[in-house]
Amino acid sequence: MSIPAEHPNAELLKRLFEAFGRRDGAAVAAMFDHDVVWRVGGRNPMTGEYRGWRDVVKFLRRTTQETDGTYLSELRYAFADDDRGVAVYRARGRRNGRTLDIDQVLLCRFRGGRISDVTAAPIDSVAFDEFWS
């Protein structure tokens, strides 16, 4: 029995997390559609809708800046098909005397081999809001 090859969009999500981990902004930006939309729920200063690859990269850079470089995202797994994907990851960091260590989910859409839409959802929204507030 052969194992089916992983979908290219699942590979794209894996490369996204690898590039973010290396702090390679150019590689991260190249994975987004020009008009990407990234949504972050909650009730904290990071909450909002970020539009366009520049704003999304600026938002992702802010997670590093706000945590003095301690924010890390460890991909647990990613699944995708031609249109949609999901990535589950562990988010960790320290900020203003608080520690974050929670699982989060990215619900994604793809267009032309790039990420075109993302909704980020923390599993523990209370801990997420407390950390970023």
pLDDT digits (tens, 9 = 90+) for 97-112: 999 999 999 999 999 9
Long-range pairs of 89-94 with CB within 8 A, sequence gap ≥ 24: 89/17, 91/122, 93/63, 93/67, 93/131, 94/67, 94/68, 94/70
Q: State which fold the 8-132 domain adopts.
A: Nuclear Transport Factor 2; Chain: A, (3.10.450)
Residue 2 reports pLDDT greater than 60: no
Share of the chain above pLDDT 70, in %: 96
- For the stretch 54-89, pLDDT in tens is 999 999 999 999 999 999 999 999 999 999 999 999
Residue 121 reports pLDDT greater than 60: yes
